[in-house]
Amino acid sequence: MAEDWVAAEVPLAIDYNDAPHVVMMATPDDLADFALGFSLSEAVIATPAELNSCTATTLLEGIRLSLRIPPARAQALAQRRRNLVGNSGCGVCGTQHLEDVLRHPPRVAAAIAVSEVALQRALAELEHRQPLNALTGATHAAAWARADGSLAHVREDVGRHNALDKLIGAVARAGDDVRTGFLVVTSRASYEMVQKAATVGIGFIAAISAPTALAIHLADATGITLVGFARDDGHVVYARRSTED
């Protein structure tokens, strides 16, 4: 009889200053990275230093992340409270207001120029840097690549948004400059993925699958170079930052 490995997926509740904010279905790994990355990519905080503490508590129902942020940030968050239950494949499920869904980040400060050689190196390395997916076949990955294509960080999760948030947290905790690297994801490039990347200043995204029309629009508007269908035999550029920027 052969063994079969399956990916964990548990409810993950996030509270800010004791006020419930969101419940996500996620893989319960790299929780500190997730807490920081989610807080940054959702514009709850502006800098890593504003996340004052993060405490994880395992409950019968799932895991609770209790986060402390400055009072002014908590007050601003209360004004746009969305208290949602998000599943592992959706970044906006349960959002109460259209402006929460279509939050428009500012234009990114800079976008790195990535060579085809660097992109191919990143894709090749990522194929061998997904231990959870190798065991289960059920997770997405998000990777942070240096300018030469070598991978600095990789994070996995059953949800593509969660994997990206974990990666953003890892990059922030390491103090990496987002202007000097690029993002590679194993999922499609949805609007929410581009929105999260733009919010933290990432200027180049390469997705193994396709982008959506709204993702392309947002990439154009925020000055992000967006590549889709990134494979070992080529890729498609859907949005490119102007050389005049």
The per-residue pLDDT for 241 is: 82
Tell me the pLDDT tens digit for each residue of 113-172.
999 999 999 999 999 999 999 999 999 999 999 999 999 999 999 999 999 999 999 999
Alpha-carbon distance values, 58 to 62, 68, 192, 203 (Å): 6, 18, 28, 36
Share of the chain above pLDDT 70, in %: 89
Non-local CB neighbours of 223 within 8 Å, separated by 6+ positions: 107, 108, 111, 203, 241, 242, 245
CATH 3.40.140.10 fits 116-239, yes or no: yes
Poorest-pLDDT segment among 77-81, 103-107, 108-112, 193-197:
77-81
**Does residue 74 register a pLDDT over 60?**
yes
pTM for the structure as a whole: 0.92
Is the separation of the CB atoms in 56 and 27 below 8 Å? no
**CATH code of the region 10-101:** 3.10.20.10
The per-residue pLDDT for 94 is: 46
CA dist., res. 148 & res. 32, Å (int): 28
Catalytic residue (choose from 10, 31, 76, 90): 90
**Residue showing tokens 């960080």:** 153
93 is catalytic: no
What are the structural domain ranges in the chain? 10-101, 116-239
Q: What is the mean pLDDT of the chain?
A: 91
**Residue showing tokens 């193994």:** 208
The per-residue pLDDT for 102 is: 67
The per-residue pLDDT for 100 is: 56
The per-residue pLDDT for 83 is: 47
